[in-house]
Amino acid sequence: MKFVVMKKKYILLAILAVISMVWLSLDYQGGASASVFFGVAPRLVPIYSVDTDEKKVAISFDTAWGADKTENIVKTLKEYNVGATFFMVGFWVEKYPEMVKLIDDNGIEIGTHSNTHPDFVKLSDEQMKLELTTSIDLINNITGKSVDLFRAPYGSYNNSMLNLTESMGLKTIQWDVDTLDWKGLSGLEICERVMSRVKNGSIILCHNNSEHILDALPLLLERLKNAGYEVVSVGDLIFHENYYIDNLGIQRKQEG
């Protein structure tokens, strides 16, 4: 009887150990990088933030609907002499080519946010590639510049998408600070939300036509400046070679 009790005890301990390993390997988006433990391919992760000792952060604008605030966003960015990145959907580029040119002429970085804003997880590789190539060509036809940054619609991704974007020379960019500006937060609420979460290497998510973005942006840039942060584009924040991305989406410099 004692042997049976001991055997049950060891089985229970083994089960708890497995559960603990799975739990500890879950990333903060809920993905199981522990898949390696079970003998399947690991879950790939895009860049959410950058590991850096420098007080640098990037501001990004998802650009899909509306353009009436875009010119003033550009003016504010230039007034504060900061960088930023606009992730543009193809149908927005087609509808507002003059805005694309304005953004590019002011030296502001442009990335793709797909062509029609679908959930990429629901697409085949061929459909994903068409979304990307079409949007990139639309941007290139206006700016004459290549595009090497991509943000997935809805922040939705899987291994197939990330393998494809890598093969196309695109870095997939998420964010670690969400302004929630699309929820109608006031400018002050947006600013305080960001400042309570921002850190070295953060990527801040905004939307170009959110209700109070023009109220929030000057407040935010002023507060970031006073806190000692340099605001740059995503391309100026991330590493472009000799790096790896950990299971939390933090891009880190590869040692050696």
- Catalytic positions, written as ranges: 62, 207
Assign 148 to helix, strand or coil: coil
DSSP 32: B
In one-letter notation, the amino acid at residue 79 is E
Helices (H), 144-172: 159-167
CA distance 24 to 21: 5
What is the residue whose two structure tokens read 């900061």? 82
Strand 56-63, strand 149-150: pairing: unpaired
- Burial of residue 61, with CB atoms counted within 10 A of its CB: 0-12 exposed, 13-18 middle, 19 or more buried: buried
Q: At what angle do helices 97-105 and 125-143 cross, to 10 degrees?
A: 70
Query: From the centroid of its chain, how far is CA 243?
Result: 17
CA distance 251 to 35: 20
- Burial of residue 10, with CB atoms counted within 10 A of its CB: 0-12 exposed, 13-18 middle, 19 or more buried: exposed
Helices (H), 25-89: 70-79
Q: How many CB atoms lie within 10 A of CB 12?
A: 10
What is the residue whose two structure tokens read 């600070």? 177
